[in-house]
Amino acid sequence: MTDPDPADVAIVGLSELSATVIRARLLDAHDRFWDTDTRTLHDPVWFNQFGGFGAVATTPGGEDVGYVLGVVTADRLAYLHLLTVREDRRRAGLGSRLCRWFDELAASTGARVVQAVARPDDGPALAFSSRLGASTHLSVDHAGPGADRVVLTRSLPAVG
């Protein structure tokens, strides 16, 4: 059963979960989260080695309704690899909450900038990111010949 109240959704760090179990669960529900096939972007490394920077949004009934995967590099760049909200839960602030969770964790480890990458024709992702204050840069051939991408960059507040 679906819980209709977004305030009841909990953000749970992946480090509290079994990497193998949560990855399989999210991939099983893939088509409810994504319009295109993103399975290859869900490499186990994002759940095992980098899982400390990821989180899943879960209803009291145990349904996964959004997730974020990312990592902070040694030069203090926070890279937001994947962010998604289940199709029936969008436009209720959950994407923003997941982003905030990642930003706060990244900033607490010393990151000063967060970057994500989107396809140039991904209107919702670009609108969402610009609402959060991201600047955009078209990166030609970013993902290979003919595969341009938009690099989205936001500043993070200094912590402490």
Residue 38's nearest CA partner among 67, 79, 77 is 67
The interface region with ligand COA, picked from 24-32, 41-49, 51-59, 126-134 by CB under 6 A, is 126-134
**Binder to ligand COA among 17, 83, 114, 150 (CB under 6 A)?**
83
**Does 55 sit near ligand COA (CB under 6 A)?**
no
**Does 63 sit near ligand COA (CB under 6 A)?**
no
**Binder to ligand COA among 32, 76, 90, 142 (CB under 6 A)?**
90
**Does 57 sit near ligand COA (CB under 6 A)?**
no
Q: How many residues bind ligand COA (CB under 6 A)?
A: 19
Site for ligand COA, residues 100 to 119, rule: CB under 6 A: 116, 118
Question: Which residues form the interface with ligand COA (CB under 6 A)?
Answer: 83-85, 90-96, 116, 118, 122, 124-125, 127-129, 131
